Structure 1
């Protein structure tokens, strides 16, 4: 059975995509810890980090670093944070978010009350910033599509 993330990648469930390539996609979470929080997810259904091939882990890390650098600059955050937990969905995913301090980096701070318009605006802001930073080739044509 397809995971929730596979259903998002396949377009069965709406997503707010900011990145897409042959190995992975990145889309906004519906419960952000901070504005601009996205998930970097391999297209392949890999249950967790420790089961991922080295080349996939390396690729996800590079994409997370790229997105994190843009988030950090766009939101004026002192750091970009990377969290890997994976208890919510059994499909490997990296949480990448602008961060201002370590105490805020907890899923207890995830907000499920953010209006759809605000989630859309943050994702579009990140998409624009990724294009400006030279990553146009990996920013999908529309917010709702993982295709390039």
Structure 2
């Protein structure tokens, strides 16, 4: 069965996409830790990040860097934090989280519930950073 991320990639379910190329896609987390929390995903469905081929793994990080730089330009934060947990969805994904403090990347804290309009506005702002 396809992961929820594959369904986003295939446009079977909607997402607030901020960047995409032939190998990777980046979209807003719908239950973010903070406003602007982005997920960067390879289009190839692989469960564990270290099972990616070396060129895909390096490409994923280079794509994430491009997205993080766009986020830096448009989101007020100290820096963009990076996390790979890999337990919640069986499809490799990198979390890019705008940070003002260490607590902003604490995955045990309650997630935000943002409206579709808020998410759309955030996605639009990040896209302007490219």
TM-score bracket, normalised by the shorter chain, equals over 0.9
Is structure 2 residue 39 aligned with structure 1 residue 34?
no
Q: What is the CA distance between 1:110 and its match in structure 2?
A: 5.1
**Structure 2 residues without counterparts, runs of 5 or longer:** none
Deviation readout 1:96-128 (Å, 9 max, x if unpaired): 121112222112335242111111110111112
Q: What is the CA distance between 1:75 and its match in structure 2?
A: 1.6
In structure 1, what is the equivalent of residue 114 of structure 2? 114
Higher mean displacement: 56-65 or 70-79: 70-79
TM normalised by structure 1 equals: 0.82
Q: Indicate the RMSD between aligned Cα atoms, in angstroms.
A: 1.3
In structure 1, what is the equivalent of residue 44 of structure 2? 44
User: For the Cα contact (< 8 Å) 1:83–1:95, is it kept in 2?
Assistant: yes
In structure 2, what is the equivalent of residue 143 of structure 1? none
Seen in structure 2, the aligned counterparts of structure 1 residues 118 and 109 have a Cα distance that, compared at 3 Å, is farther
Runs of 4+ deviating beyond 3 Å? none
